Structure 1
Amino acid sequence: MVSALERISNKLNKWFTWIGGIALLTLTGIACANMLMRPIGSPLKGAYELVGFFGALVVALPLGYAQINHSHISVDILATRYSKRTKRIMDSISSVVCMAFFILVAWQSADYATAIWKRGETSETLRIIYYPFVYLVAFCCLLLSFVLLIDFLKSLVPSKGER
């Protein structure tokens, strides 16, 4: 069961990471075009807004993939002194706490997106509706929570050297 969930998670997170890469290229293109156009006296209108929106996507979209590959910073100064079983217990507790945190972040982000959708808010310069970006960030936090759930389930099974 865990391996099936892991396959789904890996495919979904790789796909989202590719979209994040496209967002990064777009963000870079907008920033460069704005820098080149500014000396001519015609900077890109709304470049600051677009860089902000795409920046949020660049950070949020690869969150799950980074967790799968353990690309996040982790401090394990104390954990190196413990047995494999104790480390596994600490990892499972950490996964549950982080999962709860990111579920909370997803919930509050979705709540905020719904509020700005109902108010009809748009960005200041380009008048872009931006609640879809906030919903996408919320979904990415849920996706990270899904990866953390898989990590938790995997931590429940002792490794071969631990038995």
Structure 2
Amino acid sequence: MAELNDASGKGQTRGPLFYIGAAGLVLAMGVETLAVLGRHAGIPLLGALELIQACILLMASAAMLSATMNNGHATVTLLTTRVSERARQYLHAFAHLLSALFFIGLSAGALWLLLETWNDYEQSELLHIPFRPLRIVSFLAAVAIAFVFLRDMWRSLRGRA
């Protein structure tokens, strides 16, 4: 697999999340390009927005999970740089706990919506894209992100952050 260098100089391996997100981005750009060209040529591409929305779900899910796995979320270090190492570990653990609780709540909501509409065959208006697989993706992404935050919380408490 290809290696990507971040600002710290440490190499990160590009995994499947990178390629899922990249494929979603390329597909969204291609659909929008065809839609714009079609509008100018007088041949509109019906359902372009529906396809782009599905691509955005894939991109956003892959990006959030990838950022969480690589500890790439924005952080404010105004307080953590002024406290002891042990206090810093506890603060990081607390931040990971709050983040995990947020995504557990998001997972619960996504699961509730998924279960409530499981027997309803919902689909997009023009292209008839089924909503069930998209809801499953959003639920699984939220659960995975919650688990990564819980793992990071555990590591912070054990002093391996």
- Using structure 1 for the length normalisation, give the TM-score: 0.83
Tell me if the contact between 1:27 and 1:50 (Cα under 8 Å) persists in the aligned partners.
yes
Aligned pairs for 1:13-162 (under 5 A) are 14-158=15-159
Alignment partners' CA distance in 1, 2:130 and 2:35: 22
Alignment partners' CA distance in 2, 1:17 and 1:96: 26
Task: Name the amino acid aligned to 2:80.
Answer: A
Q: Which runs of 5+ in 1 are unaligned?
A: 1-9
Alignment partners' CA distance in 2, 1:127 and 1:117: 16
Count of matched residue positions in the alignment of Structure 1 and Structure 2: 149
| Alpha-carbon shift at residue 119 of structure 1 (Å) | 2.2
Task: Name the amino acid aligned to 2:59.
Answer: V
3-state DSSP class of the match of 2:117? helix
Work out which structure has the larger RCO, using CA pairs closer than 8 Å and 6 or more positions apart in sequence. Answer: 1
| Alpha-carbon shift at residue 117 of structure 1 (Å) | 3.2
Tell me if the contact between 1:16 and 1:62 (Cα under 8 Å) persists in the aligned partners.
yes
Deviating 4+ runs (over 6 angstroms) = none
Task: Name the amino acid aligned to 1:98.
Answer: S
Q: Which runs of 5+ in 2 are unaligned?
A: 1-11
Alignment partners' CA distance in 2, 1:148 and 1:93: 10
| Alpha-carbon shift at residue 88 of structure 1 (Å) | 0.5
Alignment partners' CA distance in 2, 1:47 and 1:116: 24
| Alpha-carbon shift at residue 116 of structure 1 (Å) | 3.0
- Using structure 2 for the length normalisation, give the TM-score: 0.84
Task: Name the amino acid aligned to 1:122.
Answer: Q
Once the two structures are superposed, residues 76-109 of structure 1 have per-residue CA deviations (whole angstroms, 9 ceiling, x without a partner) of 2222211111110011111111111101111211
Task: Name the amino acid aligned to 1:131.
Answer: R
Q: Which moved more, 1:60-69 or 1:91-100?
A: 60-69
Percent of residue pairs bearing the same amino acid type = 26
Task: Name the amino acid aligned to 1:157.
Answer: R
Mark the CA change 1:111 to 1:155 in structure 2 (over 3 Å): closer, same or farther.
same
3-state DSSP class of the match of 2:71? coil
Structure with a larger share of its residues in helix: 1
| Alpha-carbon shift at residue 36 of structure 1 (Å) | 1.1
